[in-house]
Chains A and B, each alone.
Chain A
Amino acid sequence: MEADDTSLSRLMALAQKGDRRAYAALLEQCARWLRRFYARRVPPSALEDLVQESLMSVHRKRDSFDPARPFLPWLAAIARYRWVDHLRRVYRLDETELPVEIACPDEGDAIAAKVSIDRLMAMLPPKQADAIRLVKIEGLSVDEACARTGQSESLVKVNIHRGLKKLSAMIGKA
C-alpha cells in the first residue's frame, strides 16, 4: 500500500525522534518511490545501486528534513542530487580507456547514460552540442574541435561552457 505525503512526513518526524518501526516503514516506502523515480532515468543495472545510495543519503541527512514541510519534495531533491552524481561518475568512466577484457562485458551503463545525454544534447543549440560532443565526449583537443567545426578557439570554449550550464539546468529541472 502506498502512503501519502502527509503519512510519510509523520513517519519521518517519528523517525527523527528515534522510532525504529516508523523508520522501517518509511524506508520501505522510500525504496519503492526511488525505484519508480530512477526507472525512468537510469538503466536497470544501475537502478538498485542508486536506490541503496539514496537510502543511505536519506539516513545520513535525515535531520535536514523539516517536519512542517511535505516529504516527497525533500526525497525528490535527494534523489535528483544522487542521480546527477551518478551521471557524472558514468561519464568519467566513459572517457577513460579500459583494457579490452574489462571494457567488453558491460557497456550498458555507459550506453544508457549516453542515450540520456544525447536526448538532452538534442535540446541544445547545434554549435554548443557539437563543441561538447567533440571535446568532452569524443576527447578531441580544443584545437582539433576548432578545425572540425570552423569555430574559433574562444568560441568553442564559450559554447562548451554555455552548453554544460544549460545541461545542468535541464537536469536540475528534470
Chain B
Amino acid sequence: MNETRHMSAERIIDGLVADLVARPPLRPGRAMMGVAAATLAACLVLALGLGVRADLLGGRPSATFLLREGLLALMGIATGLAAIAAARPAVGADRDGWKWATGAAALFPLAALARALMNGTMPALQPESGLLCLGSSLGSALAVGTAIVLWLRRGAPTSLARAGWLTGLAAGSLGCFAYGMRCPIDSIYYIGFWYSLSTLTAAVIGRIAVPRLVRW
C-alpha cells in the first residue's frame, strides 16, 4: 500500500513538472501601489463629490488635521504592509510593527475618553456629519480592501483570520484618511468616536468577509 501511494506521489510530481511554466515571484511593491492607487482614487472621488477642507485648499491645514491624517496614514501603511506580507507564507516571521501604529492611532479615542471623563460630559457627536463620515469612509475602505483581497487571492495566506483583521484595519484607516481630506471637524470627541467607529467597523467586516474570499 505504501509503495502504491509512494508511486502516486511520483506520478503527481511528474505531472506537476510537466505542468511547470515560468512564474516570477509575487512583488509586494506592486500590491502597495495598488493600495495607494485605490486610496488616491477614493480621495479624488470624495473631493469631487463632497469637496475639500477649506484650510487644506488654502495651504494652511490645522495641527489636528495633520495629526489625524498622519496617524491614519501611518496605521494604514503599517497594517497594509502586514496584510500584503501575509500573502507570502513563512513560519516564524514576525510582522508586528502594525500593532505599534494601531496603538498610536488609538490615542485619539483614548484622549477623547480621558477628556470626557475629566469634564464629566461629552459634547454632541454631530450624528448627521458622523454618519456621512462613516458611510464615506466605509465606501473608500471597500476600494482599498478590494485591492488587498485581490493580492491575497494570488498569494497563500496561512492565517486567514489575521489576514481578515489586517485587511479590514488597513482599508478602514485608509478609507478614513481619504474622507479626512474633506472633513472640516477637528473635535477630538468627534474624531475619537466616528473615525474609530469607521475603522473598527471595517476591521470587523474584514475579519468576517475576507477569509472566505482568500481561502485556498
Contacts and interface: CB of A to CB of B under 8 A. Distances in A.
A127 B184 CA distance: 52
A49 B87 CA distance: 25
Nearest to B12: A52
A16 B12 contact: no
Contact of B155 (A20, A61, A81): A61
Nearest to A68: B25
B159 interface: yes
A67 B88 CA distance: 11
A126 interface: no
Nearest to B16: A59
Contacts of A20: 17-18, 20
A52 B89 contact: no
A137 interface: no
A89 to B, nearest CB: 13
A23 B20 contact: yes
B17 A23 contact: yes
- What is the predominant secondary structure among interface residues of chain A facing chain B? helix
B17 A62 contact: no
Contacts of A17: 22, 24
A51 B12 CA distance: 10
A99 interface: no
A57 B20 contact: no
Contacts of A52: 8-9, 12
Interface in A6-31: 15-18, 20, 23-24, 27-28, 31
10 closest cross-chain pairs (CB), A and B: A18-B22, A77-B89, A48-B5, A61-B156, A64-B156, A81-B158, A73-B91, A76-B91, A63-B23, A27-B13
Interface of A: 15-18, 20, 23-24, 27-28, 31, 44, 47-49, 51-52, 55-57, 59-67, 69, 73-74, 76-78, 80-81, 172
Given A18-B21, A67-B25, 14 more contacts: A20-B17, A23-B16, A24-B13, A24-B14, A27-B17, A47-B5, A48-B9, A56-B12, A59-B16, A64-B156, A66-B26, A69-B88, A69-B90, A74-B89
